[in-house]
């Protein structure tokens, strides 16, 4: 079994409140869940324009898990109002 996690440090430039931030992240999390991954906001919970979002993927084939992460990366990178500052990955 392969377990992969990926975390993104995000800058949410257009957000002026926590309500704005939650709206942007909710849309992004909904889009990511279509790839059958677990997604959660894991850092910077009280900052308006910063967020850390993490996802986990479990599978039996490493190639499938890696392709899923690449697809998820594209969605995060192309999301409106989101700029990726840093990405961290882990495989087990």
The answer to whether the beta carbons of residues 39 and 29 sit under 8 Å apart is yes
In this structure, the chain runs to a length of 92
Tell me the chain's radius of gyration from C-alpha atoms: 13
Would you place residue 3 in the very low, low, confident or very high pLDDT band (cuts 50, 70, 90)?
A: very high
pLDDT by residue (tens digit) across 9-34? Answer: 999 998 999 999 999 999 999 999 99
First to last CA, the chain: 8
pLDDT value of residue 52: 97
pLDDT value of residue 59: 95
- The two tokens of residue 61 are 């084939």
Q: What percent of the chain is modeled with pLDDT above 70?
A: 100
pLDDT by residue (tens digit) across 46-58? Answer: 999 999 999 999 9
């Amino acid at each position: 079994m392969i377990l992969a996690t990926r975390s993104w440090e995000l800058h949410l430039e257009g957000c002026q409140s926590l309500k704005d931030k939650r709206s942007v992240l909710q849309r992004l999390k909904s889009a990511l869940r279509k790839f059958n991954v677990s997604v959660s906001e894991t850092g910077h919970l009280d900052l308006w324009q910063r967020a850390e979002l993490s996802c986990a993927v479990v599978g039996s084939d490493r190639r499938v898990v890696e392709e899923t992460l690449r697809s998820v990366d594209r969605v995060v990178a192309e999301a409106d109002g989101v700029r990726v500052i840093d990405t961290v990955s882990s495989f087990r």
